[in-house]
Amino acid sequence: MVATEPLPNGIDGILEYVARMAAGYDSGLKWNEEDKLRADMMNRPDRWRDVTVEQVRAKCRALGMRPNDIDTIAAYVQKRKDGKRFNVESSYKTFQFK
């Protein structure tokens, strides 16, 4: 495993959590974990502002995530950086990672 620089604002912990959840499923990341991630990006833009897409990709790779899951997460980060908004299921609309 390649060491990566720690990511700011608790993003390391978030990606570690998402990687653990995805590893538990044969098909990778589930919709509810994706919704939690998108909701956090919407509700805490300050958290994600200073991280780059490539930093997120590198961390996900270091965590051993599947390529499809890495692409999904990186695309979410890029969309937020481009100013796009996400539709999140109502049960997660206000979700934020601690």
In degrees, rounded to 5, the angle at the alpha carbon of residue 65 between the alpha carbons of residues 61 and 68 is: 100
Euclidean distance between CA atoms 58 and 63, whole angstroms: 9
Query: Domain range spanning residue 71?
Result: 11-92
CATH assignment of the domain containing 88: 1.20.1290
In degrees, rounded to 5, the angle at the alpha carbon of residue 43 between the alpha carbons of residues 56 and 83 is: 65
pTM equals: 0.92
In a domain, 17, yes or no: yes
Q: pLDDT digits over 44-73, tens only? A: 999 999 999 999 999 999 999 999 999 999
In a domain, 3, yes or no: no
**Arithmetic mean of pLDDT over the chain:** 93
In a domain, 1, yes or no: no
In a domain, 71, yes or no: yes
* pLDDT > 60? residue 17: yes
20: pLDDT confidence band, cut at 50, 70 and 90? very high
pLDDT confidence of residue 3 = 57
Two tokens, residue 24:
């538990």
Number of structural domains, the chain?
1
Euclidean distance between CA atoms 75 and 82, whole angstroms: 10
3-state secondary structure of 14: helix
In a domain, 62, yes or no: yes
In a domain, 97, yes or no: no
